[in-house]
Amino acid sequence: MIGMAEIKLTPEEIKAATEVLESGNLRQGQHCQAFEEEFAAKVGAKHAVTCANGSASLHMYYMAEMEPGDEVIVPAFTFIATATMPAVVGGKPLFCDIDPETFLMDLDHAETLITDKTKFISPVHLFGNVYNIDELTAFARKHNLKILWDAAQAHGGEFKGKDIGQFDNAVSYSFYPSKNMFVGEGGMVCTNDDDLAHKLKFLRSHGQTGKYYHEMLGLNYRMTDVEAAIGRKQLGRLDQMLDVRRRNKAIFDERLGQMNGVYPQKQTADTTHAVHLYCIRIVPEEFGVSRDDLSAALMEKEIHNGVHYPRGLHQQPVFEEMYGKQSLPATEKLCEEIIAIPVHHGLSEDDANAVIDAIEECHTKALNKAA
């Protein structure tokens, strides 16, 4: 069986977590503080603020920065939290169609969405594919927008050799088990903005600025020291895990590049991909069978795969009800054609080749049947 993720902790990570459990210091404490310092140093940001999960990191950012009625441009093709978190603080997500090759936001379409209420843009480095940060930042400056980079799927990604965690205005991460770093539940916001970092630290703890003294509305969005202790150890092996993901991606790029009807997500220029997921478009008329048939053929060989995502955010019932029906053709087409294949850090070179052999076999069978 080849799974979609490798979620095993190392003996060192288990030992670090056990030491915290034995100490009794279960809540947010010295490990959270050290994790923040080490993560900020690793990505090159001035501040890093731990929190309960990736959604919480987005939610806290909007609580700190957004006014009710403000609009934020988000990709229509992403995980729902990118759009629900601004909506729960009274903001409005504007769904942007995507580029069919990179699967990232199409800025020509984004341009058409701007109104005088548009105050934010939240680009998602989707599946680890990093935006052209210069281009996005120029777009945001032109329209006076703040940028919340959603890096839940992109730990270790780089633009022009710089880690994506250091770019303005803020960068949000998730440490959910399927992610490039996985501590259980956990999140982080990185920023170079002193005031924002200060605010986030209070927001995650009921807006408490002194003992039982509360200056703002807040939540309990704290990370625990158990998770932080795991995160600190894992940060030490992030590069090693990414090396394996990148090796697997290189094998896939090479072998799938030759195959008719298979279009891997195109990596943006000047970036280092964080290889969270390896996603391909299957064009049935060229490949011979549909995405769903390929998925079933892989499952038969016990090769897990997934559809990320089967519908655009604008097609989610909750948003259709809130904002009405919209049509975003590039997103909708991608939803029909996309499939993710295993690429994770636990996948050996042989496994990676076995995945491609199975795709190749499915393609060849389809061609022979058609002949």
Helices (H), 44-131: 54-65, 81-88, 107-113
Q: Which of 84, 129, 132, 153 binds ligand PLP (CB under 6 A)?
A: 153
For position 102 contacting ligand PLP by CB under 6 A, the verdict is no
**What is d(CA 230, CA 8) in angstroms, rounded to the nearest whole number?**
12
Q: Which of 74, 152, 190, 235 binds ligand PLP (CB under 6 A)?
A: 152
Nearest distance, CB of residue 172 and ligand PLP, angstroms: 7
> By beta-carbon distance, which residue lies closest to ligand PLP?
54
Nearest distance, CB of residue 58 and ligand PLP, angstroms: 6
Phi-psi region of 215 (alpha: psi -120 to 50; beta: other; left: phi over 0): alpha
> At 189, is the secondary structure helix, strand, or coil?
strand
Nearest distance, CB of residue 303 and ligand PLP, angstroms: 22
For position 331 contacting ligand PLP by CB under 6 A, the verdict is no
**What is d(CA 211, CA 340) in angstroms, rounded to the nearest whole number?**
48
**What is d(CA 349, CA 279) in angstroms, rounded to the nearest whole number?**
18
For position 82 contacting ligand PLP by CB under 6 A, the verdict is yes
224-253 burial, b at 16+ Cβ within 10 Å, e below that, comes to: bbbbbbbbbbbbeebeebbebbbbbbebbe
For position 54 contacting ligand PLP by CB under 6 A, the verdict is yes
Q: What angle do CA 248, 242, 250 make, to 5 degrees?
A: 25
Nearest distance, CB of residue 85 and ligand PLP, angstroms: 8
For position 227 contacting ligand PLP by CB under 6 A, the verdict is no
Cα dihedral: 332, 334, 337, 339 (round 10): -120
Q: Using CB under 6 A as the criterion, what x/- string covers residues 230-259 for binding ligand PLP?
A: ------------------------------
Residues constituting the chain: 371
Cα dihedral: 157, 122, 5, 99 (round 10): -80
Please say which residue, 156 or 187, places its beta carbon nearer to ligand PLP: 187
Q: Which of 65, 150, 163, 225 binds ligand PLP (CB under 6 A)?
A: 150
Laid out side by side, the sheet with 146-150 consists of 47-51, 187-191, 170-174, 146-150, 118-121, 71-75, 92-96
For position 366 contacting ligand PLP by CB under 6 A, the verdict is no
Q: In this structure, are residues 153 and 182 in contact, taking their beta carbons and an 8 Å threshold?
A: no
Which residues inside 278-317 make contact with ligand PLP, applying CB under 6 A? none
Q: Which of 93, 128, 156, 187 binds ligand PLP (CB under 6 A)?
A: 187
For position 81 contacting ligand PLP by CB under 6 A, the verdict is yes
For position 55 contacting ligand PLP by CB under 6 A, the verdict is yes
Question: Using the 8-state DSSP alphabet, how is residue 166 labeled?
Answer: G
Please say which residue, 175 or 287, places its beta carbon nearer to ligand PLP: 175
Stretch that binds ligand PLP, among 77-85, 251-259, 295-303, 311-319 (CB under 6 A): 77-85
Please say which residue, 238 or 289, places its beta carbon nearer to ligand PLP: 238
Stretch that binds ligand PLP, among 24-32, 149-157, 218-226, 235-243 (CB under 6 A): 149-157
Q: In this structure, are residues 70 and 93 in contact, taking their beta carbons and an 8 Å threshold?
A: no
For position 342 contacting ligand PLP by CB under 6 A, the verdict is no
**What is d(CA 305, CA 223) in angstroms, rounded to the nearest whole number?**
31
Stretch that binds ligand PLP, among 65-73, 74-82, 111-119, 322-330 (CB under 6 A): 74-82
Binding site for ligand PLP (CB under 6 A): 53-55, 78-79, 81-82, 124, 150, 152-153, 174, 176, 187
